[in-house]
Structure 1
Amino acid sequence: MAKVEHTELISGSDRYRWFILTAAVTAQMTAAVSTQGIGVLGGFIQEDLQLSNTDIGVLAGILNVAPILGLLLAGEWLDRAGERLVIGIGALIMGLAMTSAGVVTSFIALVSCLFFVGVGYSTAQPGGTKAVFHWFSPSERGLAMGIRQAGLPLGGVVAAAIFPSVASKLGWQSAFLVGACVIISGGGVFCLVYRLPPANQEGGGKPSHNRQQLIDYARTLLTIPMFRLAAVSGVVMITIQTVSLMFLALYLRDQFSLPLVVGASHLLVMQLAGAVGRILLAAWSDHVREGRASIVLFTALGTVCGLAALGLLSIHGSSSFMFLVSAWLGFFSFGWYGPWVAWVSELSLNERLGATLGIAMAINQLAIVLTPILFGWLVDESSGYAVPGGLLFVTLMIYIIYAGVLLWRRGGSRTSW
């Protein structure tokens, strides 16, 4: 199978690649304050606007509607315009939309603002990933991707550390205004620091593709068994991640009468563990003979154990056990993304890295949009978390069996992954 040519990669001795990585992490971390902050602020918004669990799911869903198409367009735009312009404009759009969310007082108006936050966020994931891909060789790429992808849960850490205090004292609208300042600052840092790798500075070579070519390329990717497995893996794992982010604090409130501020501390622990997981698991994937796909499957096994432990909280409901479960679930249900994005990047064909990332991430977005709405609705309809939680557990088990059988049949050659 053809793979992206790596002639554009710089020498491994060039120290500037670490400045690029730092800028990419900063841009991702600050952008993620918007998406991860909804999980932290959801309870405050719910109490103020008298919303149902389904409504909270809608807030998470609408934030991620625009990236379904936006990621595809952003991927193509990246291949044409470059990372600095795309990420800079995306950060500006997010900042303006977050500012608007900070002055609204109704559910419908907030939904509208979050849609445009999602428009801007479409640039953050593929843009930073492509920047890191071109600056690091394959032997370091898993580690670099893991560090870069740690920016997303670190954004959740920032949100969990700041937003509850601001929301409890000044209101959830003020938290959105703080988030706007953080996002614009992070995008500005990336624009100031980023430059092309030396081999790419001559310009030219940027592909120009129309929409039909993008559709044809997506169809080609979907004929590749490993890309199909990567897509299924992404959908299943992002479902667990999204539900954990949106409903963990509400679950702890409803089941154990814990204040939302305490629930936010569990989110902080979960996100910190997720950041560590993304780095360690991605670095591990650089050295595992079976390849990055096997690491993603391993994270699914860890997540199953975390979900089972979460269901046992009613039996062992001590505070220390609760935080241990939050950390465990975060390490695996957030940590999978580091090795996964490196895996997808290496499946790219014909120097279409931006488009490949956009397609894979757009598929994930379908799950991100639908699952919190469905999960919230099931919580409302069943008056509890047992039914939707059980469905998550069963879905994850089916995926583990499917992926395990497929990878076992393909054998142990690293190049076959």
Structure 2
Amino acid sequence: MSARSRWVILGIALLAQIAAVSAMFGVPFVLPELRDAYGLTTPQAGALAGLPGAGLLVTLLGWGVLIDRYGERLMMTVNLLLTAFFLVMLRVADGPIGVGALLAFVGASAGPLNAASGRLVLGWFAEHERGLAMGIRQMAQPLGMGLAAAALPFAAGHWGFTGAMLLPATLCAATAPLVAVLTATPRRTAAESAAPTVAPTASPYRFGTIWRVHGASGLLAVPQFTVLTYALVYLVQEHGWTAPAAGAALACAHIPGAAARLGLGAWSDRVGSRLRPVRTIAAVSGTALLLLSLSPLALPAAGVVLILVCAVLSMSHNGLTFTAVAETAGMAWAGRAMAAQNTIQSLGSMTAPAMMALVIHWFGMNPMFAVAAVFCVAAIAVVPVARR
């Protein structure tokens, strides 16, 4: 394929991941319709909304093995079609148990697209341009969330819960033939474009570098999901905002968040390192979180600006750590390594809110941000800065 075709493949990978994100994380945006359709309480509906994440966690490492063995094009096509099928089957689900099972299957089938599309981009772009390429691909999460937030509530108001979920089903089904026809197995491997730190067929998990990359990413997931979970409550409770106004402000923060992933990817290409910028972002994020925790003592109004800054910073590191773990693993292990990275992120999304709920209960909202800053400091110590 030509150099131009690489960018077509990148665009298709971005579209596939947007489809997966809208399928996996779209349910919270139609939670009232899900609750009313099956006579559930809000906590019960919320539990169903979390089942795609559970399905991802249970199956993702296994999918990573299949991605490495059978290639990205086949597995992405299969996963998109399965995701569309399970979303369509919601129309005939038998009560909350059937819906819950199908939502878990949605997570199990859509989740691997992150690792597969990342491996595809990794193979088609040389090391000196992967930061930018992966930064573009990592924009899928905020774009997919924004698309779901904009379209699904409107659709649910007209067609109900199952009707709304046909939108991500349609996007997945429409993207599958594009993946099957217009993408291809990369002609070169990571070993050909840059010498890896280990032999391509050796397990990178025999060495400490990849564990440190995973560890830094896991530590940074705590402040990321702390801010994402409690920012709206903070604006409402501490600053008297209405929930719709706070939600709109935080939705807008996804735009510079997506741009930050792109910019940091390009920066990492220029400086020849993925992880030195991660260390810088961790330091800046930790400082912002600490200032946020102290803002009531000096300038309370600054808390509004700081929480939005923290929201942008907290989501900006993902593209760099994702690229770093794939490059460290090499193409032979990239699918499994990126699946493991996704698993760590998912665990962070599940554990950080519960852990910080205890901090809020014992100490209050503002000290919670100082605790989150400690995880940024720990990440700085863990990041293996000698590795790209």
Same fold (TM over 0.5): yes
* Aligned counterpart, 2:374: 398
> Is 1:365 paired with 2:346?
yes
Contact 2:17 2:114 in 1 (8 A): yes
| Cα-to-partner distance string for 1:266-324 (whole Å, 9 max, x where unaligned) | 343132222111111111111225x3222223333343455457666997569xx85x5
From 256, 261, 270, the equivalent of 1:273 is: 256
**Following the alignment from structure 1 to structure 2, what is the Cα–Cα distance between the partners of residues 270 and 288?**
27
**Following the alignment from structure 1 to structure 2, what is the Cα–Cα distance between the partners of residues 251 and 55?**
23
* Aligned counterpart, 2:193: none
* Aligned counterpart, 2:270: 287
Contact 2:124 2:187 in 1 (8 A): no
Q: Which structure has the higher relative contact order (CA within 8 Å, separation 6+)?
A: 1
The one-letter amino acid paired with 1:196 is: T
TM-score using structure 2 length: 0.80
Contact 2:75 2:116 in 1 (8 A): yes
Alpha-carbon RMSD? 3.7
* Aligned counterpart, 1:189: 178
Deviation at 1:62, TM superposition (A): 2.6
SS at match of 1:188: helix
Q: Within 5 Å, which residues of 2 pair with 1:99-248?
A: 99-101=88-90, 108-168=97-157, 170-198=159-187, 217=203, 221=205, 223-246=206-229, 248=231
| Cα-to-partner distance string for 1:19-63 (whole Å, 9 max, x where unaligned) | 1111111111111112332454457757884324x973x445432
Contact 1:299 1:332 in 2 (8 A): yes
Deviation at 1:126, TM superposition (A): 0.9
The one-letter amino acid paired with 1:398 is: V
Which blocks of at least 5 consecutive residues in structure 1 are unaligned? 1-9, 201-213
Structure 1 residues 101 and 270, CA gap change in structure 2 (3 angstroms):
farther
**Following the alignment from structure 1 to structure 2, what is the Cα–Cα distance between the partners of residues 313 and 171?**
43
Contact 1:277 1:335 in 2 (8 A): yes
Structure 1 residues 405 and 303, CA gap change in structure 2 (3 angstroms):
closer
Structure 1 residues 327 and 253, CA gap change in structure 2 (3 angstroms):
closer
Deviation at 1:167, TM superposition (A): 3.7
The one-letter amino acid paired with 2:264 is: L
- The structure richer in helix per residue is 2
The one-letter amino acid paired with 2:42 is: L
* Aligned counterpart, 1:50: 41
Length, aligned pairs only: 372
**Following the alignment from structure 1 to structure 2, what is the Cα–Cα distance between the partners of residues 242 and 392?**
11
The one-letter amino acid paired with 1:50 is: T
* Aligned counterpart, 1:80: 69
The one-letter amino acid paired with 1:230 is: V
| Cα-to-partner distance string for 1:81-125 (whole Å, 9 max, x where unaligned) | 111111111112222333344666965544323211110123211
Deviation at 1:357, TM superposition (A): 1.8
Which blocks of at least 5 consecutive residues in structure 2 are unaligned? 190-200
Contact 1:142 1:285 in 2 (8 A): yes
From 338, 343, 348, the equivalent of 2:329 is: 348
Structure 1 residues 156 and 178, CA gap change in structure 2 (3 angstroms):
same
Contact 1:95 1:181 in 2 (8 A): yes
